[in-house]
């Protein structure tokens, strides 16, 4: 029988993966503000974070819940920095 903590780690890891998939529309909609090169870099970062989320699910690690938080923070910082420092506009 699976212990309570192992079960919780599995559920949290799956929630992290689901949350990360919910960030994809924001990354895809970045084309309204960012140039093509920035969108490619952001999508590569998103794919890297997806790999981390899948690894967290396979390892049943609760750290998987941090993946969507990092994804949102990375996207927000990249778009904001592009607007402020590089003059990106919608």
Q: What is the mean pLDDT of residues 31-38?
A: 96
Pairwise pLDDT comparison (5 vs 63), residue with the higher score: 63
- What global pTM score does this model have? 0.91
**pLDDT averaged over every residue in the chain:** 94
The pLDDT value recorded for residue 8 is 84
CA atoms within 13 A on the CB side of 24: 9
CA distance linking residue 41 with residue 67, whole number of Å: 17
Distances (CA, A) of 75 to 17, 45, 46, 57, 89: 17, 9, 9, 22, 16
What's residue 2's pLDDT?
66
Angle ∠(40,33,22) on CA atoms, nearest 5:
65
Q: Are 67 and 17 in contact (CB under 8 A)?
A: yes
- pLDDT tens digits, 61-89: 989 999 999 999 999 999 999 999 999 99
């Amino acid at each position: 029988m699976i212990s309570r903590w192992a079960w919780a780690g599995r559920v949290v890891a799956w929630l992290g993966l689901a949350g990360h998939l919910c960030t994809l529309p924001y990354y895809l909609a970045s084309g309204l503000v960012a140039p093509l090169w920035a969108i490619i870099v952001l999508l590569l970062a998103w794919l890297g974070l997806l790999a981390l989320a899948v690894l967290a699910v396979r390892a049943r690690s609760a750290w998987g819940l941090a993946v969507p938080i990092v994804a949102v923070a990375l996207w927000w910082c990249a778009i904001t920095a592009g607007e402020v420092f590089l003059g990106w506009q919608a």
